Structure 1
Amino acid sequence: MEKQQPPEDRDGSAAAAGPPTCYRHPDRETGIRCTRCERPICTDCMIGASVGFQCPDCVREASGTGHHPAADRPRTLAGGTVASDPRLITKILIGLNLAVFVAVMARHALLNDLLLFGRAYVGDSSAGYEGVAEGQWYRLVTSTFLHEEVWHIAFNMLGLWWLGGPLEAALGRARYLALYLLSGLAGSALTYLVADPAQGTLGASGAVFGLLGATAVLMRRMNYDMRPVIALLVVNLIFTFNPWGGIAWQAHVGGLVAGALIAIAMVHAPRERRNLVQYGACALVLIVVVAVVLARTAALT
């Protein structure tokens, strides 16, 4: 087993060359330190404590003493349980997207069964209308796992991996999954509300944009340099509203707004009312989504 160096020998060499770096990930700059040993820690390593954040080593040591009360168990920034694999949900989501992609490649007819559109004829008009307005609400969810082109799923899965891992570590599995699913659902709802009801849309972009909005909120909360995420957001919005079309901007905007709002509740909720604020915000977003879908359905039928 690798021997841990003393805290003073692993302070990220802040005095020697610029900002400190995480003691476990030397390639990551950070402004956060463990409240017990003062080692620099990144978002993947920081564990919420009763006061501030602690590093994994200090949490492990404290847990072994038997004096770590239930209220002070290792928690993420948002109050979630610290997991041994902080990217498990991200891996599962990527696996689901890839599985659906392979299934569609094997049976292309699935595309029409899972696609998001409001109300339209599919094939022979004698079969009647199909779509969300006809009671096929599942399309609001299935479409967020649906991709048709290799470049499309590759771009979205790279975004999910890069943005999802740090967010999952910072929020915890349950909160992260709620953020992802609700962002995708909000993007679908806005698309259903605004887009042509016969226009089909698909892709995980709404959920990924939700992660992008949440990343901006998290970085602001951690007092990190906002310029990289702002630049990434601007570039993505330029592509979203490009003059060539072909991109469902409604899904991007809906996911971005929902992700940012949920993340604000996740990382800024007061400790004593954390669960109420966090899950209350998620419930509020879900209620808005349902209201939008019901209103649009009433207008189309």
Structure 2
Amino acid sequence: MTPERPSVPEAPAPVCYRHPGRETHVRCTRCDRPICPECMREAAVGHQCVECVAEGRRSVRRPRTVLGAPARAGARPVVTYTLIGLCVLAYLGELATDRVFDELAMIGLYRFDGGATIGVAEGEWYRLLSSMFLHQPPDGGSFWITHILFNMYALWALGPQLEQVLGRGRFLALYLLSGLGGSVLAYLLAPGTPVVGASGAIFGLFGAYFVIARRLGTPPGPIVFLLVLNLVITFSVPGISWQGHVGGLVTGTVLAAAYAYAPARHRQAVQIAATAAVLVLLVVLTAVKTTELV
């Protein structure tokens, strides 16, 4: 008579590590933990759990441009469109009332007949920035409308490309500091002359485009022709603030060079330091000129 074999208890069915009440026979191909259908994520081979998928995403380095900006193929140039919108809104304000021009235009120091004074030297430092969003008003001459049209076209043509390769933060810093550089040079050399326009910032984009084109090995011929043409117009047409144009061009070119040629190992630190250094220099020059005028 054959003795009966002792019965072996069946092993309990595995349960999902995140949902203990759900039985499952599928395991994560990365950590081998049981996962239910809700926790499954398709992988190249089999399925992975939620935590392993998240960890894998963190370990993957996002592609970046040569200048260190996140590579966003097809991304909308949000900063460019926002700057254009602000300039258009400011111009509509100029058309509605003269106070917009009078209170926001860049002027270093102006004395009225009664003895009252206005300007940056009187503490209205915001004029250095607000003026780059204004443009020549209708009573400013026969070419008033071309002022904003040309600047907005140049911003629309150059802005998206520079914003993509620089990244939104660097592009915005370059634009604003170029415009500020133009205002500061106008403040230093012609403090009594009202100055408005995005031209300083636009010339900064011209200089940046040239530097970045050289850095990427792109022929800079077209931008050089456009830059030379605009410089000729700047110095040949009366009523144009050449100080604003040159100040923006120099600032944009210097800052773009720091962005484009920063060493890869310390790229972000060098770019931040360059941005801060340019800002500090412009602030110091403004403070020195203010002390002289006051």
Q: Same fold (TM over 0.5)?
A: yes
Partner AA of 1:278 in structure 2: Q
From the superposition, tell whether residues 66 and 235 of structure 1 become closer, same or farther in structure 2 (CA, over 3 Å).
farther
| Counterpart-to-counterpart distance in 2, 1:299 and 1:90 | 37
TM superposition shift of 1:208: 0.3
Partner AA of 1:121 in structure 2: R
Structure 2, unpaired ranges of 5+: 1-52, 138-143
1:221 aligns with 2:211: no
| Counterpart-to-counterpart distance in 1, 2:210 and 2:181 | 18
Query: Equivalent residue for 1:90?
Result: 80
Measured against aligned partners, the alpha-carbon deviations of 1:185-232 in whole angstroms (never above 9, x if no partner) come to 01100000011x221010000000000000000110111112111111
State how 1:159-238 maps to structure 2 within 5 Å: 159-195=154-190, 197-238=191-232
Tell whether the 8 Å contact from 1:74 to 1:82 is kept in structure 2 after alignment. Answer: yes
Alpha carbon RMSD of aligned pairs, Å? 1.8
TM superposition shift of 1:70: 5.0
From the superposition, tell whether residues 70 and 282 of structure 1 become closer, same or farther in structure 2 (CA, over 3 Å).
farther
| Counterpart-to-counterpart distance in 2, 1:257 and 1:219 | 17
Measured against aligned partners, the alpha-carbon deviations of 1:3-31 in whole angstroms (never above 9, x if no partner) come to xxxxxxxxxxxxxxxxxxxxxxxxxxxxx
| Counterpart-to-counterpart distance in 2, 1:87 and 1:77 | 18
Work out which of the residue numbers 132, 136, 145 in structure 2 matches 1:144. Answer: 132
| Counterpart-to-counterpart distance in 2, 1:259 and 1:161 | 17
1:120 aligns with 2:110: yes
From the superposition, tell whether residues 100 and 214 of structure 1 become closer, same or farther in structure 2 (CA, over 3 Å).
same
Partner AA of 1:165 in structure 2: P
Tell whether the 8 Å contact from 1:86 to 1:168 is kept in structure 2 after alignment. Answer: no
Identity %: 44
Bigger radius of gyration: 2
| Counterpart-to-counterpart distance in 2, 1:95 and 1:162 | 15
Give TM-score scaled by structure 1 length: 0.74
From the superposition, tell whether residues 121 and 220 of structure 1 become closer, same or farther in structure 2 (CA, over 3 Å).
same
Partner AA of 1:203 in structure 2: G
Query: Equivalent residue for 2:233?
Result: 239
1:72 aligns with 2:65: no
| Counterpart-to-counterpart distance in 2, 1:222 and 1:68 | 30
From the superposition, tell whether residues 93 and 78 of structure 1 become closer, same or farther in structure 2 (CA, over 3 Å).
same
Tell whether the 8 Å contact from 1:182 to 1:258 is kept in structure 2 after alignment. Answer: yes
TM superposition shift of 1:76: 2.7
From the superposition, tell whether residues 235 and 65 of structure 1 become closer, same or farther in structure 2 (CA, over 3 Å).
farther
Structure 1, unpaired ranges of 5+: 1-63
| Counterpart-to-counterpart distance in 1, 2:58 and 2:227 | 41
TM superposition shift of 1:71: 6.8
Aligned residue for 1:125, secondary structure, equals coil
Tell whether the 8 Å contact from 1:104 to 1:110 is kept in structure 2 after alignment. Answer: yes
State how 1:212-291 maps to structure 2 within 5 Å: 212-242=206-236, 244-291=237-284
Superposed structure 1 runs of 4+ greater than 4 Å apart: 64-71
Measured against aligned partners, the alpha-carbon deviations of 1:97-131 in whole angstroms (never above 9, x if no partner) come to 00000011111221110011111135x625x1100
Work out which of the residue numbers 76, 81, 103 in structure 1 matches 2:70. Answer: 81
